[in-house]
Amino acid sequence: MEFWDLYDEKRQKLNKTVKRGDKLNDDEYHIVVNVWIKNSKNEFLITQRSKTKSFPLMWECTGGSALEGEDSLDAAIREVEEELGVKLNRNSGELIGTKLRYYSGCPDILDVWVFEADIPIKKVVYQEEEVCNVMWASVEKIKELHLQNKFEANAFFEEALMYTKKEEIYYIGFNANNAICNEKLFNGSITLYPTKEKGNIYFSDKSLPDTKSKEFMEKYKSYIYKTAKKIQSKNPNSKFLCFNEKIRKLCSDMKDINIVKGNEAKTIDFLNNKFKTRDLVKDSVPVLDYFLIDGDKLDYDYIKGKISCDKFIVQAETGAGGNSTYLIDSKNKMDEIEDKTSKYCISKYVNHTPLNVTLIIGEDDVIFLPISVQLIRLTDNKFKYVGGDFISSQTLSKTVIQKLDCYSNNIAEKVKKMGYRGILGIDYILCENGDIIFMEINPRFQASSFLISMYLEKHYNTNVAKLHYLAITNSKIEQVPLIKIDNSFVNCNSEQKFDKFENPKIVNNGYFEPNKSSVYRKVFDYSIFSEGDFEKL
């Protein structure tokens, strides 16, 4: 005896079950499934109804009603197993359409599924009281049967025949990052260590002593290739995104893998160069006076005399997080700069508040996201980035915000002309006199991107990774009116760090927890900028 759960027209389950054959009210529905099975030859497994059933000898896809306690997917799997003796992989199915059908005395909600499976006909064992024949049929054959009134076509008939598996997007990198590896965009990820993200495939669950040598990189490259190839064999519409420049270069010769072409390496290298970007923008955005000097010519007294200042900044061409930016106010500190092979930029130190603007640069539009005050600590004479404060930035004057908008728009137009698309961070400093000075460009996801993403997900059903993906693929990006973010955060390598700030929410970036490089983010619903030892006016 067969029982069904009943639902209302909004698919909310009613506290009621009925026996098959009982009359339903007009506002009561049970769930019915149609199941199309498609193979790699673009053929569909169709069945012929037995002579004893209604519509005898009609061809159709497999289907039936969901039983009490079953959801639609459960019903689809069970019906196929009962009628054809085939157990489908739950992950290979996709719901392509749902329709309310108003049959008198038995209204239903029809769900149409398509599964992908290569099943030899000889392995199909059908119920003779239900089915008298089965075959793999091409789209043309099914349409021919339909024209001859020999095929029962329910809702989404054309959609099922034209079905191609949805695009799947995978992230490839060394480690997961909440700013990048976002479950709302990615179907999975290929990483060095395991993460808590869905669909993650990892190289090792143990900390590896050697992850930088040429030999290891070749081994990891081989792993990435084999894994991506396997994913792509299951779904030819799989695409792979490499945001890390080292990974992009590692995968650059994988011609038979659908790696999404992002920005050109030469463009990224240019924008990562602090010297070149200052030259790029100096005609439309204020920059500090500076000069360049070779590392082997770094001399405190010489520089002090040249710029008439005993406190100055020494900054390398590239570097993130402040690791290559030094505050020098004595000869001893100058001697601590170990790398004498690099070229350095020299500029006066000015009291300032560091600011960051995040943009998404598309083919036609530019999205401006909320400004943050950067939390910078002077550590070992280096300006280390430790977090961001979006609440403190809300106190900036209207004049300052207007300048930031103007300068950021000028920079966006310049990098757009270079062909750059996607997420872009711009660092500025706010001086005591109210001047805004450009510092550098970050052509990548930033530490603060995860917090922006959390707000975009909560309020606008999108995220930073999705907007970046749309931009780099020259798709239309919709403006998102995200005005403010009411949080501040700090990066930590343990839950004990920055424990002077109370009531944090801990956000784990998803790295393999035993790995020493795991990072926590402490998020606060109040401004911590004025309460901590950070770089400020």
pLDDT(517) > 60: no
Q: Which residues contact 241 (CB under 8 A, 6 or more apart)?
A: 169, 170, 171, 172, 186, 259, 260, 262, 469
Residue with tokens 């506290």: 15
Q: How confident is the model at residue 3 (pLDDT cuts 50, 70, 90)?
A: very high
**Backbone angles phi and psi of 375, in degrees to 5:** -90, 105
Query: Has this prediction a pTM greater than 0.85?
Result: no
What is the overall mean pLDDT for the chain?
A: 90
Q: Higher pLDDT residue, 246 or 287?
A: 287
Q: How confident is the model at residue 113 (pLDDT cuts 50, 70, 90)?
A: very high
Name beta bridge partners: 7. 13, 29
pLDDT at 323: 77
pLDDT in tens, 322-343: 778 889 999 899 888 888 888 9
Name beta bridge partners: 438. 287, 428
Q: Which residues contact 406 (CB under 8 A, 6 or more apart)?
A: none
Read off the pLDDT of each residue in 501-522 and give the average, rounded to a whole number: 71
Q: How confident is the model at residue 183 (pLDDT cuts 50, 70, 90)?
A: low
In sequence order, what DSSP letters do the residues of 442-474 get, joined into one string? E-S--TTHHHHHHHHHHHHS--HHHHHHHHHTT
pLDDT at 400: 96
pLDDT at 513: 53
Q: How far is CA 446 from the centre of its chain?
A: 13
Read off the pLDDT of each residue in 126-144 and give the average, rounded to a whole number: 93
pLDDT at 325: 87
Residue 216: Cβ-neighbour burial (10 angstroms; 0-12, 13-18, 19+)? middle
Q: Higher pLDDT residue, 379 or 105?
A: 105
pLDDT at 510: 55
pLDDT(518) > 60: no
Read off the pLDDT of each residue in 454-479 and give the average, rounded to a whole number: 90
pLDDT at 186: 86
Of 55-69, 360-374, 508-522, the least confident = 508-522
Alpha-carbon span 343 to 330, nearest angstrom: 20
Q: How confident is the model at residue 4 (pLDDT cuts 50, 70, 90)?
A: very high
pLDDT at 496: 81
Q: How confident is the model at residue 235 (pLDDT cuts 50, 70, 90)?
A: confident
Report helix, strand or coil for 199.
Answer: coil
Give the amino acid at 203.
Answer: F
Alpha-carbon span 395 to 206, nearest angstrom: 46
Alpha-carbon span 191 to 188, nearest angstrom: 10
SS3 content of the chain, % helix, strand, coil (to 5): 25, 30, 45
pLDDT at 182: 66
DSSP run (H or E) holding 134: strand 131-138
pLDDT at 380: 84
pLDDT in tens, 252-310: 899 999 999 888 889 999 999 999 999 999 999 999 888 999 988 999 999 998 988 88
Read off the pLDDT of each residue in 217-228 and give the average, rounded to a whole number: 96
Q: How confident is the model at residue 537 (pLDDT cuts 50, 70, 90)?
A: low
Task: Name the most confidently modeled range: 230-239, 276-285, 328-337, 459-468.
Answer: 276-285
